[in-house]
Amino acid sequence: MLKGHLPQHMRMHKQDKPHGCAHCRSRFAQRSQLTVHQRIHSGAKPYRCEVCWKAFAHSTALKLHTRKHTGKKPFKCVLCSATFTQLPHLKKHMLCVHKSTKPYVCSYCKSFHQTKME
């Protein structure tokens, strides 16, 4: 993080949200967050897929969409060979397919868990 960006970043933690939307009551700590939010009201979709020309309001949505064309599946199940384009899909797989499997053990109390994050 750049030195000048720390005050902006700290606003998020202090609930200081000086940037208000003119269309609704939403408020934001950073101007960039307001700009992205305003696309909801304007319908602007500045990010376009170079393969199929589908447009998106957010760059992250375009990145996820692009995986459909590339076949990239960066999220892999540690219990089987299944791979997924998005983390929520992997989490759903873990709950549905491996719901009774708990391969992670707590080093303190020896309890078993399905994911490292539990």
Query: Which pLDDT tens digit goes with each residue over 65-78?
Result: 999 999 999 999 98
Architecture label for domain 15-72: 2-Layer Sandwich (3.30)
pLDDT digits (tens, 9 = 90+) for 12-49: 667 788 899 999 999 998 899 999 999 999 999 999 99
The ranges assigned to domains in the chain are 15-72, 75-113
Q: What is the pTM of this model?
A: 0.58
Say what the alpha-carbon torsion angle 61, 62, 65, 66 is, to the nearest 10 degrees.
Answer: -150
Element (H, E) at 84: strand 83-84
